[in-house]
Amino acid sequence: MGKIQLLDCTLRDGGYLNDWKFGHDNMVTIFERLVSAGMDIVEIGFLDDRRPYDRDRSILPDTASTRKTYGELDRKDSMIVGMIDYGTCSIDHVEECSDSFLDGIRVIFKKEKMHAAIDFCTQIKAKGYKTFVQAVSITSYSDAEFKELTDMVNELEPYAFSLVDTYGLLHKQQLAHYFNMADEQLKETIGLGYHAHNNFQLAYANCIEVLEKDLKRRLIVDGTLYGMGKSAGNAPTELLAMYMNGNNEKHYHTSQLLEAIDVTMLDLYERMPWGYRFKFFLSASNDCHPNYVTYLQQKKSLSVKSINEILSRIEPEKKLLYDETYIEKLYLDYQSRDCEDHAAYRDLIKELSGREILVMAPGPNLYRQKDLVETCLKERPGTLTIAVNFVPEGFEQSPDYLFLFNAKRYTGMATAVSVLQKNTKTKIVATSNVTSAGTDFDMVLNYERLLDHEAQIRENPLFFLLDLFRDADVRHIALAGFDGYQLAAETNYVHENMEYGFTKEKADAINEDVKNALVRSGLLDKITFVTDSLYV
């Protein structure tokens, strides 16, 4: 069996979480503990000539800078490597290996850059470094493309070639497929590596699967302390070391790894937790970039079912290359499912025409100033009440209408809506993006009617209501619970699960946007804010 090596990349992969600002003391501690543990290979960070030198960060502008940070430290028997994301560090910033603190350089690249990246690796090797070819998003390669890559790798004959499962998509069978192809196609002089991510909670299990292979070539498995790393995190170095001590005749000093975790990792984890999360499961199960999930979740208007359906529509070539304009179009196309609503809208206009309206939104002031809302209703008998995206509780009368514009919120209150419909005369009006969960909606309107393309939040229900009230020529509009947006740490809604996460700047911008919409509506002379609001 070939030589087995454990590579720790905490100082590089972990840096995605803290912008590589571990602090100099922590970087020294991690380095010294890793080499004292007998780590075969230690990756000390990124080489990126776009970043200035900072002794507190493990992202460095050139190879010469590595000596400034680590040059005084004893590397013991460990191989020391750095990583370059192809295109971010010129070969001019890579000195000869004989002058460098580094023994090797790992080069990562996406499929579309593989030819240029291999040429760059050739230049790295010519400078005397042990060169590692790191094929990221390995699942994006077809078998033919993979063969094209391994042919070039054979010609280069680097120290190692690694399968990088960037988004944690590989299950056992897929891993075996790519691993076996690499083992069959590569020269035996080339080491074979594996870098896992934990989106499916399989990073450690997949590494064990690799370690059980009986290879003639060198085998390299990547890990990070406590699994610290991008997205769902990595295979934990301490677990791999423990397993390899027991099964691969290795002799790592795991106590040194545990000391590093205790002194540095636990504090980092408390401040910026990593690991398996729901969004990473969603992205991995749809074979797509996790930023697509983040973007859709931030809409706060989609159920998980809807998010899954949108992700399933992403074209294969777009899945791992995040494109915000593209996902926004998919989102709008999904929400704007065709719906013939002319009759429903006409009937709604007729019912509201000339009436006085009280609109109840789920801002906390609706309940804090409940007495003002009740007084408004008593002073204006015959006022029609409309609740928006929630079922108000504790009021003397049920709303005349419940408007449902937000599919996610409806999913969370479907039972309450059903009870309301069964026990009251409330009419349920929904837009076409909301899928019924046992409720017969009285009216369904095309989602397109909800959108205001000039707005910060284009599906703001208030903007739709203003258009509706203008078309119906209502007599008076009272608004309650339209509090406006405050800092993310403040409470903007009556229920926590309704909250958006905004910076102060974003909240202020949205509030200003709503004020502008109120002016654009031409209805200011008919509008009264019953409860306190940042919109006035």
HEC sequence for 195-259: ECCCCCCCHHHHHHHHHCCCCCCCEEEEEEHHHCCCCCCCCEHHHHHHHHHHHCCCCCCHHHHHH
**What is the residue whose two structure tokens read 């699967």?**
209
CB 444 within 8 A of CB 344: yes
Specify the DSSP element, H or E, that contains 104. strand 104-109
Token readout for 281 is 């499961």
Per DSSP, what are the bridge partners of residue 84? Answer: 107
Confidence of residue 506 (pLDDT cuts 50, 70, 90): confident
Given this model, what pLDDT does residue 243 score? 98
Confidence of residue 489 (pLDDT cuts 50, 70, 90): very low
CA torsion 121-124-125-131 (nearest 10°) is -70
Token readout for 188 is 């035996």
CA distances from 424 to 122, 401, 417, 514 (A): 75, 10, 10, 32
Between CA 287 and CA 506 the distance in angstroms is 31
Given this model, what pLDDT does residue 501 score? 53
CB 194 within 8 A of CB 220: yes
Pairing status of strand 59-60 against strand 443-445: unpaired
Rg of the chain in Å (alpha carbons): 29
CB 215 within 8 A of CB 193: no
Given this model, what pLDDT does residue 334 score? 79
Confidence of residue 498 (pLDDT cuts 50, 70, 90): very low
DSSP code at position 261: I
What pLDDT digit, counting tens, does each position of 134-168 carry?
999 999 999 999 999 999 999 999 999 999 999 89
Q: Is the pLDDT assigned to residue 487 strictly greater than 90?
A: no
State the CB neighbour count (10 A cutoff) for residue 154.
15
State the CB neighbour count (10 A cutoff) for residue 294.
15
CB 273 within 8 A of CB 237: no
- Min mean pLDDT across 45-49, 368-372, 424-428, 445-449 is at 445-449
Question: 325-355: b or e for each residue (b if 16 or more CB lie within 10 Å)?
Answer: eebeebbbebbbeebebeebbeebeeebeeb
Token readout for 240 is 């791999």
Q: Is the pLDDT assigned to residue 520 strictly greater than 50?
A: yes
User: What average pLDDT is seen over the chain?
Assistant: 91
Between CA 262 and CA 33 the distance in angstroms is 11
Q: Is the pLDDT assigned to residue 448 strictly greater than 80?
A: no
Given this model, what pLDDT does residue 339 score? 66
508 CB burial (10 A radius; 0-12, 13-18, 19+): middle
**What is the residue whose two structure tokens read 């890990």?**
223
CB 156 within 8 A of CB 133: yes
Write phi, then psi, for 19 (nearest 5 degrees).
55, 35
Specify the DSSP element, H or E, that contains 478. strand 476-480
How many residues comprise the chain? Answer: 536
More confident residue, 397 or 156: 156
- pTM assigned to the model: 0.70
- 176 CB-near residues (< 8 Å, 6+ apart): 209
Given this model, what pLDDT does residue 257 score? 97
Q: Is the pLDDT assigned to residue 190 strictly greater than 70?
A: yes
DSSP code at position 112: G
Topology given in CATH for the domain delimited by 4-271: TIM Barrel (3.20.20)
Confidence of residue 409 (pLDDT cuts 50, 70, 90): confident
CB 219 within 8 A of CB 3: yes
